[in-house]
Structure 1
Amino acid sequence: MPGKVTREGNIIYLNAYGRWYQYDETRPPLGAGAMGVVYLGQDCQTREPIAVKRVVDRYANNPEVRRRAHQEADLMFSHPNLVEMLGCCELDPYQGPIFIISRFVKGENIDKFINAHVRSLPNAEHRICELFLPVLDALAYIHSKGIIHMDIKPSNIMMEQGRNVRLMDLGISDVTETVNSSTSGMMGTPKYAAPEQFSDVENKPQLTSATDIYEAGITLYELITKQNPFSAATIAEAKELHHGMVLPQVPGISDSVFEVTRKATAIHPSDRYQNANAMKAALKAALPPRNFSKFDRFMKKVQDSNVSVIANILKK
């Protein structure tokens, strides 16, 4: 159930499941997107940092979005590649702002991390694909719970302090096996959205886990090539591109990995990978054996060892 909201000056207090959180609405936000603005807050008891997403009013006043926000807060998933949800609060059950509270993840978006630390390295495509595998693990998990994310994109994938990948922003996710696009309207980001996500598509198709597979394919393609051929000025233009164009093969992506993204982004859902585990298996199979450098081997030892073992390695 949604929690309470109170205000003292610039400080917004949020009570979710009996626990109080707060944030200062005058401080610069951590980020903003189509669905809302994210602020840094804290747990009033432990002072641990939390993230508060204030859903923008034009979405918050939509009954369907309110329902999904309430459901997101109730998910309470525990998975190493998902951001932990803490609760949802609102002033009024029918209109006005919605506040979604989650654990704060310190890191940077995966595309920024790749551009800064991975793209110039040997075997860059291989490394990018390996970073993307945990995203597919997270998708397999939420799909097993009947959840469709519906907004997979680089800005919703966080690299946590350079060590762990987390899929973020389940704010428009739906907790049914399928979602009727004719009633839910356009949900997601147009240049990553599957053809069936556009609300006026003929025959009112259902959105399923294959919708997330399409978005995952576009996202992986963009992370590798730095291109998104479905960028458009309007939703109508994006819809036309997604319905009439297949991914072009460009320099920088191998034939085998391109084939994975091509199948994932098939126009018809039945032609895509039918689940995230299938796409993960295909992606792993598409990767040729990597020539590990001395640095790679050392970092593997660091990741797999505890402090005492690392100390022994450094002495050698």
Structure 2
Amino acid sequence: MRRSLGRYELTRELGRGGMGVVWEAHDRDQGRQVAVKLLAPRGYSSELTTLERRFLREARLTSRLSHPGIPAVYDHGSHDGELYLVMELVPGRALDSILTNEGPLPVDRAAGIAQSVADVLAYAHGQGIVHRDLKPSNLMVTPAGDVMVLDFGVAAALEPRPGETRFTAANAAPGTVVYMAPEQAVGRTVPASDLYSLGCVLYELLAGSPPFTDGSPFLLYHQHANEPVPPLSGHRPGIPPGLQELVEGLLEKNPEDRPASATQVRALLSVWAPAAAATAFAHPRLAEITALRLSGRPARALEEYEELMAEPGLGRADFLGARVEAALCAGALGRTREALDELKSILAEQRSVLGSADSAVLDTRYEIAVLLVRTGERHAAVELLRRLAEDENRAVGDPRRGRSHVLLKRLDRMA
């Protein structure tokens, strides 16, 4: 049955879970289809005011997130006692549905999905936001193969601050507990909690089931906190040893024993994920330092790039490559405007030395577009990406081909 929520006409239920119901809806004011998440406040009675205040606070925070792997948040509020969140409508299939229909995924596909999620987490953690409820039903794979992370802020809205009433513990959904880090069960949530949940998801992508599945929510809490993780090899032979070690590292009981950051996880997964664009360097130190940057140590990498650029006899192309990488380090350290200005300065020299069609020039142009998005200069980013997409399409056989077109589509969805 159709119903209205203010200006939103709810047309089709898309799914439901322990935290609420998601509808496809028509936004009459904007003339577009959107997704509307209704939180399930029934049973909270007098506590609803506290829940509403916290939900609106978290919605304001997460609406500032701007990443191609996070659906844009358009609106939020309450209507006749119902809390709602209005988001970009993402086409595709939830990862839990894919697992149900296809079972364990090929290693490269599983690693690629996990790498995309790690990229989103690296961005969100950099903004001071932890997801808190990462699981396959919150991960959407679009028809183009892109991965979108849903429901940022919803779990946080239901998680109390000290002295507030806990809304979720009494009737926690087992589907969530299956992927929950041990420290979350005792009220402590840190960025590494998301990495534990990502480890559970990656385990399931490779094995066909999560590491712990049996029993009540209480027993699941106990297993996450105390029992060793069943070896992946017991579910499926042939998984690369390094990938097994990464999953085991993500599933360490102590948050401090897990990988240092989502950025590091993203870099480590690149070994097994589908090949990404990479710049070939003549100087071996450039490749080594770049690996350091991608492992989540941009400050140390920046120092080493500066030392390398001071060496006599460094080739011009490698010197420019080091400057580009040093600028990316600055961007990773939060100095976005400085990084953007430096890349623009380098680009003219690269074109002169290497030629406009060189892969390094294409990479620098792409990084400039990404930084323009981060600084809020969306129009300039779109114009640059349109021109770059045309140039990339001429590079037959180059893994960069189509990269800018994908980012353009994501920006269009976020508009």
Q: Calculate the TM-score normalised by the size of structure 1.
A: 0.74
Question: Equivalent residue of 2:144, what SS?
Answer: coil
Summarize the alignment of residues 132-211 of structure 1 with structure 2, pairs less than 5 Å apart.
Answer: 132-174=114-156, 184=166, 186=169, 189-198=176-185, 201=186, 206-211=188-193
Among 190, 194, 214, which residue is 2:196 paired with? 214
Among 55, 62, 69, the alignment partner of 2:39 is: 55
Q: How does 1:115-130 map to 2 (within 5 A)?
A: 124-130=106-112
More helix by share: 2
Give the match for residue 11 of structure 1: 3
Residue 66 and residue 299 in structure 1: after superposition, are their counterparts in 2 closer, same or farther (change >3 A)? Answer: farther
Distance 1:69 1:299, change over 3 A: farther
Aligned to 1:229: 211
Over 3 Å counting, the alpha-carbon distance change for 1:68 and 1:277 in structure 2 is: farther
- Paired residue for 1:312? none
Matched, 1:41 2:25: yes
Q: Which residue of 2 aligns with 1:311?
A: none
Question: Which whole-Å deviations, capped at 9, do the CAs of 1:23-45 have from their partners, x for residues lacking one?
Answer: 14xx5x10011100111101213
Report deviation, 1:63. 5.4
2: CA distance, partners of 1:117 / 1:230: 20
2:46 equivalent to 1:78: no
Q: Report the alpha carbon displacement of residue 13 of structure 1 after superposing the two structures with TM.
A: 2.9
- Mapped to 2, the partners of 1:116 and 1:214 lie a distance apart of 25
Provide the identity percentage: 28
1:284/1:301 Cα in 2 relative to 1: closer, same or farther (>3 Å)?
A: closer
| SS, match of residue 206 in structure 1 | coil
Residue 81 of structure 1: CA displacement?
Answer: 0.5
Match of 1:109 among 94, 101, 106: 94
Q: 1:98 aligns with which of 83, 101, 110?
A: 83
Once the two structures are TM-superposed, the CA of residue 275 in structure 1 deviates from its matched residue by: 1.5
Equivalent in the alignment of 1:254: 240
What is the CA deviation profile of residues 36-77 of structure 1, one whole-angstrom value per residue up to 9, with x for unaligned ones? 011110121343211111111247655564344313432322
Q: Distance in 2 between matches of 1:56 and 1:218?
A: 26
Could you say what the CA RMSD is over the residues aligned between the two structures, in angstroms? 3.2
Counterpart-to-counterpart distance in 2, 1:219 and 1:113: 13
Counterpart of 1:23 in structure 2 is: 10
Larger radius of gyration: 2
Distance 2:38 2:93 in 1: 20
Q: What one-letter code is carried by the residue in structure 2 that aligns with 1:162?
A: A
1:145 to 1:67, Cα distance in 2 relative to 1, 3 A: farther
Aligned partners of 2:190 and 2:165: how far apart in 1?
A: 15
Matching residue's letter, 2:244: F
CA distance in 2, matches of 1:109, 1:191: 17
Structure 1 gaps of 5+ residues are: 1-8, 15-19, 291-296, 307-316
1:301/1:139 Cα in 2 relative to 1: closer, same or farther (>3 Å)?
Answer: closer
